[in-house]
Amino acid sequence: MSLRRFYASPDAFRPEPGRVTLSEEESRHLRDVLRLRAGDEARVFDGGGHEFACVVREVGGRKGRATLEVRGEAEPPSPEPPVSIRLAVALLKGEKFDLVVQKAVELGVGLIKPVITKRTDVRLHDERDAAKRVERWQRLALEAAKQCGRAWVPDVTPPRAFETFAAADPGLDFLRLMFAERGGVSLNELPHQDAPPSHVTALVGPEGGWEDEEIELARAHGWSIITLGGRTLRAETAAITVCALLQNLYGDLR
């Protein structure tokens, strides 16, 4: 029998100790799709890395919310990788950015940062437009985390201008890599480090590539410029490939 997993925010665990109440959407999936009943076992994760073994107590009726008894904390089906990879990627047209969000989450990325570059084709109308897109991407991240067995749901931040992002204080980022089609070195040529980095930020450009001044700005602020062979990859392919390469190099994709 496959593991039945549901999401509930941390707040859903607090009103009544030892119980968790699912959202209407999750309750409907439990009741009408999986057809679980009182007494059935299930897992509930909170998006912050915690997963719990539970037993269904009430399925909630036609439009009600399901309630489960929390038996104790459990190991998520998929562990988090030893390195925190943050993917910063230029906004992409259509469903391409949706695809990047889904696959990045499956590959263990911990944070996704949309970036607005000079050659970005996507134009945001206003803050409301941006918020609506972020809400959609966050929902896709949740669905992907549920599908791949993660208990951690990566945040998708509001889009940010490249110049501001590239010049920001790196904070905990011990390694910052800008992936460009020219002017860089391969991953194998990076200076050797005594220990693997605990945090890596990967920056991937738009469909039209980077402007020379953007590459130089990043270099001036301490970014390492990386190229990926001689083939020209689509932006969404490059973003997904970068996630896989970094997980293989520093994480748990072996």
What does the domain layout of the chain look like in residue ranges? 5-74, 84-250
Nearest to 85 by CA among 5, 13, 179, 167: 179
Express each pLDDT in 195-252 by its tens digit.
788 899 999 999 889 999 999 999 999 999 999 887 788 999 999 999 999 999 998 8
Average pLDDT over residues 4-33: 92
pLDDT at 173: 65
CATH architecture, domain defined by 5-74 = Beta Barrel (2.40)
Q: What is the pLDDT of residues 77-86, one digit of tens each?
A: 999 999 999 9
In the chain, what percentage of residues exceed pLDDT 70? 99
Q: Could you give the CA distance from residue 211 to residue 245 in angstroms, rounded to a whole number?
A: 24
Question: What local confidence, expressed as pLDDT, does residue 1 receive?
Answer: 55
> 1.20.20.10, 3.10.129.10, 3.40.1280.10, 3.30.230.10: which CATH number matches 84-250?
3.40.1280.10
Return the minimum-mean-pLDDT range out of 28-37, 53-62, 130-139, 166-175: 166-175
Residue 41 has pLDDT above 80, yes or no: yes
pLDDT at 170: 77
- Is a pLDDT exceeding 80 seen at residue 62? no
Q: What is the mean pLDDT of the chain?
A: 92
Structure confidence at residue 96 (pLDDT): 95
Per-residue tokens: 157:
């931040």
What pLDDT sits at residue 87? 97
Q: How far is CA 201 from CA 69, 147, 207, 242, in A?
A: 39, 24, 20, 11
What is the band of 94 on the pLDDT scale with cuts at 50, 70, 90? Answer: confident
**Residue 108 pLDDT > 60, yes or no?**
yes
Res 172: pLDDT = 67
C-alpha separations of 32 from 29, 43, 58 in Å: 6, 17, 13
> In angstroms, how far is CA 236 from the centroid of its own chain?
14
Contacts by 9-16 with C-beta closer than 8 Å and gap 24+?
9/46, 9/47, 10/46, 10/47, 10/48, 12/46, 13/46, 13/52, 13/70
User: Tens digit of pLDDT for each residue in 156-206?
Assistant: 999 999 999 999 877 766 899 999 988 899 988 887 777 788 899 999 999
